[in-house]
Protein backbone atom coordinates (compact mmCIF):
# COMPACT_ATOMS: atom_id res chain seq x y z
CA UNK A 1 0.00 0.00 0.00
CA UNK A 2 1.35 3.43 -0.99
CA UNK A 3 2.48 5.62 1.88
CA UNK A 4 1.43 9.26 2.28
CA UNK A 5 5.00 10.28 1.49
CA UNK A 6 5.03 8.37 -1.79
CA UNK A 7 1.60 9.70 -2.78
CA UNK A 8 2.82 13.23 -2.11
CA UNK A 9 5.84 12.63 -4.34
CA UNK A 10 3.46 11.98 -7.23
CA UNK A 11 1.30 15.03 -6.54
CA UNK A 12 1.78 18.12 -8.70
CA UNK A 13 0.99 21.51 -7.18
CA UNK A 14 -1.90 21.88 -9.62
CA UNK A 15 -3.71 19.01 -7.87
CA UNK A 16 -3.25 19.66 -4.17
CA UNK A 17 -1.71 21.99 -1.61
CA UNK A 18 0.21 18.99 -0.28
CA UNK A 19 2.37 18.69 -3.37
CA UNK A 20 5.87 17.49 -4.22
CA UNK A 21 7.87 20.69 -4.76
CA UNK A 22 9.85 20.52 -1.49
CA UNK A 23 10.50 16.84 -2.15
CA UNK A 24 11.88 17.70 -5.59
CA UNK A 25 14.41 19.95 -3.85
CA UNK A 26 15.50 17.17 -1.51
CA UNK A 27 15.49 14.49 -4.20
CA UNK A 28 17.72 16.59 -6.44
CA UNK A 29 20.39 16.69 -3.73
CA UNK A 30 20.08 13.02 -2.83
CA UNK A 31 20.34 12.03 -6.49
CA UNK A 32 23.35 14.29 -6.99
CA UNK A 33 25.25 12.75 -4.06
CA UNK A 34 24.52 9.18 -5.16
CA UNK A 35 25.45 9.77 -8.82
CA UNK A 36 28.60 11.71 -7.87
CA UNK A 37 29.80 8.99 -5.49
CA UNK A 38 29.11 6.20 -7.98
CA UNK A 39 31.02 7.98 -10.75
CA UNK A 40 33.91 8.69 -8.38
CA UNK A 41 34.17 5.01 -7.44
CA UNK A 42 33.64 3.59 -10.93
CA UNK A 43 36.06 5.90 -12.72
CA UNK A 44 39.20 6.40 -10.59
CA UNK A 45 41.22 7.78 -13.52
CA UNK A 46 38.62 10.22 -14.87
CA UNK A 47 39.38 13.93 -14.64
CA UNK A 48 37.22 16.29 -12.62
CA UNK A 49 35.96 17.91 -15.82
CA UNK A 50 34.90 14.58 -17.32
CA UNK A 51 33.20 13.52 -14.08
CA UNK A 52 31.32 16.82 -13.95
CA UNK A 53 30.10 16.47 -17.52
CA UNK A 54 29.06 12.86 -16.90
CA UNK A 55 27.10 13.84 -13.81
CA UNK A 56 25.40 16.66 -15.70
CA UNK A 57 24.39 14.26 -18.47
CA UNK A 58 22.93 11.81 -15.94
CA UNK A 59 20.88 14.24 -13.86
CA UNK A 60 19.60 16.67 -16.49
CA UNK A 61 15.92 17.08 -17.29
CA UNK A 62 16.01 14.94 -20.44
CA UNK A 63 17.59 11.93 -18.73
CA UNK A 64 15.29 12.17 -15.72
CA UNK A 65 12.23 12.41 -17.97
CA UNK A 66 13.41 9.38 -19.96
CA UNK A 67 13.77 7.32 -16.79
CA UNK A 68 10.39 8.53 -15.54
CA UNK A 69 8.84 7.31 -18.79
CA UNK A 70 10.60 3.96 -18.44
CA UNK A 71 9.02 3.67 -14.98
CA UNK A 72 5.64 4.82 -16.36
CA UNK A 73 5.46 7.54 -13.72
CA UNK A 74 3.17 9.54 -15.98
CA UNK A 75 0.44 6.96 -15.40
CA UNK A 76 0.49 7.65 -11.65
CA UNK A 77 0.82 11.43 -11.55
CA UNK A 78 -1.78 13.38 -9.59
CA UNK A 79 -2.46 16.48 -11.67
CA UNK A 80 -5.03 19.26 -11.63
CA UNK A 81 -7.67 19.44 -14.34
CA UNK A 82 -5.75 22.06 -16.32
CA UNK A 83 -2.53 20.06 -16.40
CA UNK A 84 -4.42 16.91 -17.34
CA UNK A 85 -6.03 18.64 -20.31
CA UNK A 86 -2.73 20.14 -21.48
CA UNK A 87 -0.90 16.79 -21.29
CA UNK A 88 1.11 17.47 -18.16
CA UNK A 89 1.70 13.75 -17.66
CA UNK A 90 3.92 13.88 -20.76
CA UNK A 91 5.77 17.11 -19.96
CA UNK A 92 9.48 16.63 -19.37
CA UNK A 93 9.71 19.19 -16.59
CA UNK A 94 6.90 17.56 -14.61
CA UNK A 95 8.21 14.03 -15.16
CA UNK A 96 11.78 14.90 -14.18
CA UNK A 97 10.65 16.79 -11.07
CA UNK A 98 8.40 13.89 -10.06
CA UNK A 99 11.23 11.39 -10.33
CA UNK A 100 13.33 13.54 -8.02
CA UNK A 101 10.42 13.66 -5.59
CA UNK A 102 10.05 9.87 -5.71
CA UNK A 103 13.76 9.51 -4.91
CA UNK A 104 13.22 11.83 -1.96
CA UNK A 105 10.30 9.71 -0.76
CA UNK A 106 12.49 6.59 -0.78
CA UNK A 107 15.16 8.48 1.15
CA UNK A 108 12.68 9.80 3.72
CA UNK A 109 10.95 6.44 4.21
CA UNK A 110 13.89 4.04 3.98
CA UNK A 111 17.12 6.00 4.34
CA UNK A 112 20.12 6.71 2.13
CA UNK A 113 21.15 3.09 1.49
CA UNK A 114 17.75 2.16 0.10
CA UNK A 115 17.66 5.37 -1.92
CA UNK A 116 21.07 4.44 -3.33
CA UNK A 117 19.86 0.96 -4.29
CA UNK A 118 16.83 2.45 -6.01
CA UNK A 119 18.82 5.06 -7.95
CA UNK A 120 21.50 2.61 -9.08
CA UNK A 121 18.81 0.16 -10.23
CA UNK A 122 16.99 2.70 -12.40
CA UNK A 123 20.34 3.95 -13.74
CA UNK A 124 21.79 0.50 -14.48
CA UNK A 125 21.77 0.79 -18.28
CA UNK A 126 23.12 4.31 -18.26
CA UNK A 127 26.05 3.40 -16.02
CA UNK A 128 26.79 0.45 -18.31
CA UNK A 129 26.90 2.76 -21.35
CA UNK A 130 28.55 5.96 -20.15
CA UNK A 131 29.38 8.36 -23.01
CA UNK A 132 32.98 9.14 -23.92
CA UNK A 133 34.64 12.31 -22.67
CA UNK A 134 34.83 13.85 -26.13
CA UNK A 135 31.17 13.24 -26.91
CA UNK A 136 30.14 15.21 -23.80
CA UNK A 137 32.00 18.36 -24.76
CA UNK A 138 29.97 21.09 -26.38
CA UNK A 139 30.72 21.85 -30.06
CA UNK A 140 32.56 25.11 -29.32
CA UNK A 141 34.95 23.34 -26.94
CA UNK A 142 35.57 20.45 -29.35
CA UNK A 143 36.24 22.83 -32.23
CA UNK A 144 38.64 24.91 -30.18
CA UNK A 145 40.56 21.84 -28.98
CA UNK A 146 40.76 20.45 -32.52
CA UNK A 147 42.19 23.70 -33.87
CA UNK A 148 44.62 24.12 -30.99
CA UNK A 149 45.90 20.58 -31.52
CA UNK A 150 47.05 21.79 -34.97
CA UNK A 151 48.36 25.07 -33.52
CA UNK A 152 45.71 27.06 -35.37
CA UNK A 153 43.92 30.15 -34.09
CA UNK A 154 40.69 29.71 -32.19
CA UNK A 155 37.45 30.60 -34.02
CA UNK A 156 35.51 33.82 -33.60
CA UNK A 157 31.74 34.13 -33.35
CA UNK A 158 29.36 36.86 -34.39
CA UNK A 159 25.64 37.39 -34.15
CA UNK A 160 24.57 38.35 -37.67
CA UNK A 161 20.79 38.41 -37.44
CA UNK A 162 17.90 38.44 -34.97
CA UNK A 163 14.33 38.07 -36.16
CA UNK A 164 10.85 37.28 -34.87
CA UNK A 165 8.75 38.57 -32.01
CA UNK A 166 10.30 39.32 -28.62
CA UNK A 167 8.87 36.15 -27.10
CA UNK A 168 9.84 33.96 -30.06
CA UNK A 169 13.10 35.29 -31.46
CA UNK A 170 15.32 33.48 -33.93
CA UNK A 171 19.07 34.07 -33.77
CA UNK A 172 21.58 33.53 -36.57
CA UNK A 173 25.24 33.27 -35.54
CA UNK A 174 28.40 32.83 -37.55
CA UNK A 175 31.55 30.88 -36.76
CA UNK A 176 34.69 32.13 -38.52
CA UNK A 177 38.05 30.39 -38.84
CA UNK A 178 40.13 32.84 -40.88
CA UNK A 179 43.23 30.66 -41.26
CA UNK A 180 41.17 27.94 -42.97
CA UNK A 181 38.84 30.34 -44.80
CA UNK A 182 35.82 28.70 -43.13
CA UNK A 183 32.58 30.48 -42.29
CA UNK A 184 29.55 28.57 -41.02
CA UNK A 185 26.15 29.63 -39.73
CA UNK A 186 23.82 28.38 -37.03
CA UNK A 187 20.17 29.28 -36.45
CA UNK A 188 18.33 28.67 -33.18
CA UNK A 189 16.05 30.12 -30.50
CA UNK A 190 18.98 31.51 -28.49
CA UNK A 191 22.31 33.09 -29.36
CA UNK A 192 24.19 30.42 -27.44
CA UNK A 193 22.48 27.58 -29.30
CA UNK A 194 23.01 29.30 -32.64
CA UNK A 195 26.74 29.64 -31.92
CA UNK A 196 26.92 25.99 -30.87
CA UNK A 197 25.24 24.94 -34.10
CA UNK A 198 27.63 27.07 -36.16
CA UNK A 199 30.55 25.55 -34.23
CA UNK A 200 29.28 22.03 -34.92
CA UNK A 201 29.03 22.79 -38.64
CA UNK A 202 32.56 24.17 -38.61
CA UNK A 203 33.83 21.19 -36.60
CA UNK A 204 32.46 18.76 -39.19
CA UNK A 205 34.19 20.67 -42.01
CA UNK A 206 37.52 20.92 -40.18
CA UNK A 207 37.42 17.26 -39.17
CA UNK A 208 36.85 16.21 -42.79
CA UNK A 209 39.57 18.58 -44.00
CA UNK A 210 42.15 17.19 -41.58
CA UNK A 211 41.08 13.63 -42.45
CA UNK A 212 41.69 14.24 -46.17
CA UNK A 213 45.09 15.75 -45.46
CA UNK A 214 46.00 12.72 -43.36
CA UNK A 215 45.00 10.37 -46.19
CA UNK A 216 47.20 12.27 -48.67
CA UNK A 217 50.27 11.90 -46.44
CA UNK A 218 49.95 8.12 -46.25
Residue 97, marked binder: yes
Residue 174, marked binder: no
**CATH class for the region spanning 139-217:** alpha beta
Looking at residue 218, what is its pLDDT? 59
Looking at residue 167, what is its pLDDT? 78
Q: Looking at residue 19, what DSSP letter applies?
A: -
Residue extents of the structural domains in the chain: 4-130, 139-217
Instruction: Please list the pLDDT of the chain residue by residue as tens digits (218 residues).
Output: 568 999 999 999 898 889 999 999 999 999 999 999 999 999 999 999 999 999 999 999 999 999 999 999 999 998 888 887 788 778 899 999 999 999 999 999 999 999 999 999 999 999 999 998 888 888 998 899 899 999 999 999 999 999 988 778 999 999 999 999 999 999 999 999 999 999 999 999 999 988 877 776 65
pTM (2 decimals)? 0.71
DSSP string, 95-111: HHHHHHHHHHHHHHHH-
- We find that the CATH architecture of domain 4-130 is Orthogonal Bundle (1.10)
Residue 24, marked binder: yes
Q: Would you call 100 a catalytic residue per the annotation? A: yes
Looking at residue 116, what is its pLDDT? 98
Q: How many CA atoms lie within 13 A of 105 on its CB side?
A: 19
The active-site residue out of 28, 83, 174, 195 is: 28
Whether the CB-CB separation of 157 and 174 falls below 8 Å is answered with yes
The active-site residue out of 21, 48, 70, 100 is: 100
Looking at residue 213, what is its pLDDT? 74
DSSP string, 28-84: HHHHHHHHHHHHHHH-TT--HHHHHHHHHHHHSHHHHHHHHHHTTGGGT-B--HHHH
Looking at residue 136, what is its pLDDT? 85
Amino acid sequence: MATDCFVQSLTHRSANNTHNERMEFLGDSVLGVIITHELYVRMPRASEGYLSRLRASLVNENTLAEIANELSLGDFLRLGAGELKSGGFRRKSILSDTLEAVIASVYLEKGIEEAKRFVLKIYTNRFDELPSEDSLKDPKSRLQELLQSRKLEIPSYALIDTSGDDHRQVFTAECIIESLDIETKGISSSRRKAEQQAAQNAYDIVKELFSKKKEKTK
